[in-house]
Amino acid sequence: MNSASPRTPQFASKLPAVGTTIFSVMSALASEHQAVNLGQGFPDFACDPALIDAVDQAMRAGHNQYPPMPGVPALRQAVAQKIAALHGRSYSPDTEITITAGATQGILTAILACVHPGDEVIVLDPCYDSYIPNIALAGGVAVRVPLTPHTFRPDFAKIAAAITPRTRLLIINTPHNPSATVWTAAEMRTLEELLAPTDVLLISDEVYEHMVFDGAEHQSAARFPGLAARAFINSSFGKTFHVTGWKVGSVAAPAALMAEFRKVHQFNVFTVNTPMQHGLASYMAEPARYQSLPAFYQAKRDLFRAGLEGSRLKLLPCTGSFFQCVDISAVSDLSEADFCQWLVREIGVAAIPLSAFYGDGFDQRVVRFCFAKEDTTLHAALERLRRL
């Protein structure tokens, strides 16, 4: 009889460099110090009650079993209609749109579908924190290309220099998290020209597509034929309709790319919450519900920026997303990370250091606030920040 004690076998981690995220660390610290949490990027206000009613009606109508693998047809149709109306490109709901378990799952699925071991994937630093682990899980090699410091514009000479015969994929994000910049039509056309002679695929992360300010338009990859032909375009119902916890998104791509995407999708999640899909499809029948979002978030941006005008925090431009970046150079000599720790403990407001979004921890004395909060939350934070 074997008397050895039971043991858990050891194995090599597929993500050895991944630990607790900065978002979890700062949120825990904010809770410990009763700080106003402007760190994590999610709203603290409720969604439209009409959306809740639509989901409730879907449940009561019996939409509680598995939907089709690519998503409820009515919701895929609603996504196709929205893209056609806003960006002038026609996607087939049957073969070119898939509903995902949030945009993050959509990005992972696209990477797993097209990246083979050893393939290179270009990411533009600073970048959303899921990209690099996703590439590692696919066996790919992340090639980090920095955006221009402080302005966060794409440096096309550096992007071009990073492209090799092994480059499979490029990931872009506009409106951009964390910097709140928005790519221009001219920049999208330059990217289109740059990629034209290559076989490089594109993931266009557009989860903040309805948060573009001052009368500007979101320049979706769908608007540019040369980009649309090679792109997986990712969107988020959670970000759009203030229901991040529902984890429902969508991906649009040409049929040939979508066929490969769905091969992976059906085995890593198969399908997505049925009543939420039916509720979202019903809710999107009124386009005004997403057309009003730029003005809604611009009002919050303007409130927050006006409240910081008298402080020593230098406001960087905010042209999209629901984030505001500030230069801390006139306030403190601390690093970004140490400043954010100090800000929670001494001032009572949580922010995120931009260095957390860079592979090399590049510190340019900039931190990020999220203004997707109730006005009362923003006023409470501003009152504390005015002490700086």
Which fold would CATH assign to domain 49-285?
Aspartate Aminotransferase; domain 2 (3.40.640)
Total-model pTM: 0.96
Residue 119 in contact with residue 111, Cβ under 8 Å? no
Residue 43 in contact with residue 373, Cβ under 8 Å? yes
Q: In DSSP terms, which residues pair with 252 in a beta bridge?
A: 97, 233
- Percent of the chain at pLDDT > 70 equals 99
Q: How far apart are CA 387 and CA 212, in angstroms?
A: 30
pLDDT tens-digit readout, 184-242:
999 999 999 999 999 999 999 999 999 999 999 999 999 999 999 999 999 999 999 99
Q: Tell which wins on pLDDT, 170 or 26.
A: 170
pLDDT tens-digit readout, 110-168:
999 999 999 999 999 999 999 999 999 999 999 999 999 999 999 999 999 999 999 99
- Percent of the chain at pLDDT > 90 equals 93
All CATH 3.90.1150.10 domain ranges of the chain, comma separated, are 22-41+291-385
Average pLDDT of span 349-358: 96
Average pLDDT score, the chain: 96
SS3 of 355, please? helix
pLDDT score of 328 more than 90:
yes
SS3 of 368, please? strand
Tally Cβ neighbours within 10 Å of residue 28.
13
All CATH 3.40.640.10 domain ranges of the chain, comma separated, are 49-285
Per CATH, domain 22-41+291-385 is 3.90.1150.10 = yes
Q: Which two tokens stand for residue 186?
A: 């001219």
What values do phi and psi take at 233, rounded to 5?
-105, 120
324, amino acid identity:
Q
Q: Tell which wins on pLDDT, 198 or 18.
A: 198
